[in-house]
Structures are given as C-alpha cells and as structure tokens.
Amino acid sequence: MTSTEPTVYEQVGGEPFFISLTAAFYRGVESDPVMRALYPEGDLAPAELRLRLFLEQYWGGPTTYHEMRGHPKLRLRHFPFPIDAEMRNRWLTHMGAALSEQHLPQELEDTLWRYFTMAAISMENVTEGDPMERAFSQTVSDEEKQ
C-alpha cells in the first residue's frame, strides 16, 4: 500500500463511523441476556470504548488503543469468557446488524464483515470436545444403530 492510498479508517468516514458502529453493536449486546451476562462490568460504556479504539487502530486510525491497553492480545483477553460457537454467532449477529445499519458501500461492508467473521471464529475458546473424539464417537454410535 502506498502512503497516498486512503486507509479503511478514512474510507468509512473516520471516528464517527466507529462511534456509530460500536454504539449499535452494544445496543444489540444490551438486548441479549446471554451475551450481556458475559460482561463483568455493570456499565457497558468502557467495553464499547475499548472495542471502538481497537477497531479504529486496526483499520489504520489513531493508535489510542495501544496507548491505553498495550498490545491487543485479543485471544488471551477473551480467555476469561467462555466463547463457544453459539456465543460467536450471537456476537456476529449483533455486529452484522450494527454494520448493515451504517449503510456503507457494499465493497467496504464486505471487507469489514470478512474480517469480523474471521476474528470472531478465532476468538472461540470452547469447542464441543476434541474433533477426533467427536468423529470417533459418531462412528461408534452409527455402528450401535446397525
């Protein structure tokens, strides 16, 4: 990328976009008792700010997140919260709704959505057992049915 190419941060309209996106996302979280229960703080505003500053930094905006929180280490920071496939989908549902509310040009929306999908999958830290074990017990129960 050359230095004259606008960053995604600039293309989406800078800080106002991220303020609006994370506000919409946290309205979704607030309305979802299963996700809401994960948040240790009564007030969601500090979590909203951390997510916003992280996303602004990630997409080429100011590095305030780094100054406040240091290296993101996001996977590590999510370990205290059990995130299974269902929780990941809840997160993605709220983020997808928040994103489409922003009415970005399709290509930009797709860029952000691809990132969120990958990032959310990588945050999963509870899997339904060991994949090999799952495959094996499936085979055994299939045999038992015969």
Among 34, 74, 76, 126, binds ligand HEM (CB under 6 A): 74
Helices 85-100 and 15-30, axial angle in degrees (round to 10): 130
Do the beta carbons of residue 26 and residue 18 sit within 8 Å? no
Q: Give 77-86 contacts, CB < 8 A, sequence gap 24+.
A: 78/123, 78/125, 79/125, 81/38, 81/125, 82/125, 82/126, 83/123, 83/124, 83/125, 83/126, 84/124, 84/126, 84/127, 84/128, 85/124, 85/127, 85/128
Using the rule CB under 6 A, give the single segment among 19-27, 87-95, 96-104, 138-146 that binds ligand HEM.
87-95
**Contacts with ligand HEM: how many residues (CB under 6 A)?**
19
Residue 12: CB minimum distance to ligand HEM, A: 15
> Contact with ligand HEM (CB under 6 A): which of 32, 50, 102, 109?
50
Q: Give least dist CB 141 to ligand HEM, A.
A: 30
Residue 19 touching ligand HEM (CB under 6 A) = no
- Of 8, 19, 38, 108, the residue at the interface with ligand HEM (CB under 6 A) is 38
**How far from each other are the two terminal CA atoms of the chain, in whole angstroms?**
59
Which of 64, 69, 102, 111 is the binder for ligand HEM (CB under 6 A)?
69
Residues contributing to the site for ligand HEM (CB under 6 A): 38-39, 47, 50-51, 54, 69, 74, 77-78, 81, 83, 87-88, 91, 116, 119-120, 123
